[in-house]
């Protein structure tokens, strides 16, 4: 699928995907090869990834020729020769050229992303936490995700995953920002994609209850006391009235 759109000229983003499912009962291990060219950006490249039940196990850094385990612990139990990914990429590049010809460079449907921002752990002021920007259901796999803190771009500590393929052939991706929740700070995850008319900003700020000030405490205390006193007076008045009515009835009774 090649794509074309007015504002940004011609894009040819070609995907050649190949999934090999090695199925064990209940679990799915998937090898996903991706190769694409974005002509408007003069960018060409691929991605080689293994997933298990939808979670990334590892991908190969094709520039550095290194296997990147999603959790470093995985690398202690097994290994993967990064060079193997190169042969796959060469094959996928050929597939891409072939598909471009066959599809007559026709345009693929651009799907804009859905963006959600949330924290890894429940927010406590002063407790280190991680903000997660989850970008979902977009196509093609050309996207910019950036973090803004109080309106200023931040790059320190930011970690971004590779593109994960969804079952409907669109993509999802995560970006992580370590942070310390502080009152008054606010964050935005900024996403740029060809499916969006302009950069999308997803706002986030810590939702923490305001501290109860001393004067508020005093006020609540005084109000409570006042309500209590009024209650005691009203109760006493009612009891006296009831006693009077009773004695009145009793007095009249025998007559
Ligand atoms: C491919 O595109 C050319 C030029 O737009 C058109 O003339 C031709 O019919 C197309 N072929 C197919 C198979 O769609
Ligand atoms: C991502 O940012 C680069 C550099 O600012 C820009 O050239 C490119 O058009 C952006 N990509 C998208 C999808 O907006």
Domains for the chain: give ranges and CATH numbers: 2-103 (3.10.320.10), 114-204 (2.60.40.10)
For the stretch 113-147, pLDDT in tens is 999 999 999 999 999 999 999 999 999 999 999 99
Cα 103 to ligand 1 centroid, rounded to whole Å:
9
Ligand index nearest the alpha carbon of residue 193: 2
Cα 106 to ligand 1 centroid, rounded to whole Å:
9
What pLDDT was estimated at residue 237?
Answer: 87
Ligand index nearest the alpha carbon of residue 9: 2
* pLDDT at residue 242 greater than cutoff 90: no
What pLDDT was estimated at residue 3?
Answer: 33
What's the pTM? 0.73
For the stretch 195-210, pLDDT in tens is 999 999 999 999 876 6
What pLDDT was estimated at residue 15?
Answer: 43
Q: Mean pLDDT over all residues of the chain?
A: 86
Cα 12 to ligand 2 centroid, rounded to whole Å:
15
Measured from CB, residues less than 6 Å from any atom of ligand 2 are: 142-144, 192-194
What pLDDT was estimated at residue 31?
Answer: 93
Q: Looking at ligand 2, which atom is closest to the CA of residue 40?
A: 9
Q: Where are the beta strands (DSSP E) in the chain?
A: 3-4, 10-11, 18-24, 27-38, 43-52, 55-61, 66-69, 114-119, 129-138, 144-149, 152-154, 159-160, 164-165, 171-179, 187-192, 200-204
Q: Provide the pLDDT confidence category of residue 5 given band limits of 50, 70 and 90.
A: very low
What pLDDT was estimated at residue 13?
Answer: 40
Cα 27 to ligand 2 centroid, rounded to whole Å:
37
Q: Looking at ligand 2, which atom is closest to the CA of residue 8?
A: 9
Cα 104 to ligand 1 centroid, rounded to whole Å:
6
Instruction: State phi, psi for 10 to the nearest 5 degrees.
Output: -100, 130
Instruction: State phi, psi for 241 to the nearest 5 degrees.
Output: -60, -45
What pLDDT was estimated at residue 4?
Answer: 31
Mutate to test the pocket of ligand 2, among 144, 146, 194 (most ligand atoms within 8 A of CB): 144
């Amino acid at each position: 699928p090649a794509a074309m759109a007015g504002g940004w000229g011609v894009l040819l983003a070609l995907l050649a995907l190949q999934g090999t499912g090695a199925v064990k009962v209940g679990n799915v291990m998937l090898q996903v090869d991706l190769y694409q060219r974005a002509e408007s950006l003069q960018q060409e490249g691929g991605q080689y990834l293994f997933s298990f039940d939808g979670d990334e196990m590892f991908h190969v850094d094709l520039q550095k020729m290194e296997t990147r385990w999603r959790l470093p612990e995985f690398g202690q139990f097994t290994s993967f020769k990064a060079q193997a990914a190169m042969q796959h990429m060469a094959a996928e590049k050929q597939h891409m050229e072939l598909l471009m010809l066959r599809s007559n460079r026709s345009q693929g449907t651009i799907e804009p992303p859905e963006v959600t921002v949330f924290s890894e752990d429940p927010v406590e002021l002063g407790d280190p936490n991680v903000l997660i920007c989850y970008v979902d259901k977009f196509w093609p796999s050309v996207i910019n995700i950036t973090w803004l803190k109080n309106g200023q771009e931040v790059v320190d500590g930011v970690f971004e995953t590779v593109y994960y393929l969804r079952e409907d052939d669109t993509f999802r991706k995560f970006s992580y920002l370590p942070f310390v929740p502080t009152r008054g700070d606010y964050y935005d995850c900024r996403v740029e994609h060809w499916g969006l008319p302009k950069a999308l900003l997803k706002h986030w700020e810590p939702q923490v209850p305001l501290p109860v000030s001393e004067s508020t405490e005093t006020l609540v205390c005084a109000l409570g006391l006042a309500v209590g006193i009024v209650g005691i007076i009203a109760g006493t008045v009612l009891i006296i009235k009831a006693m009077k009515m009773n004695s009145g009835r009793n007095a009249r009774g025998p007559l």
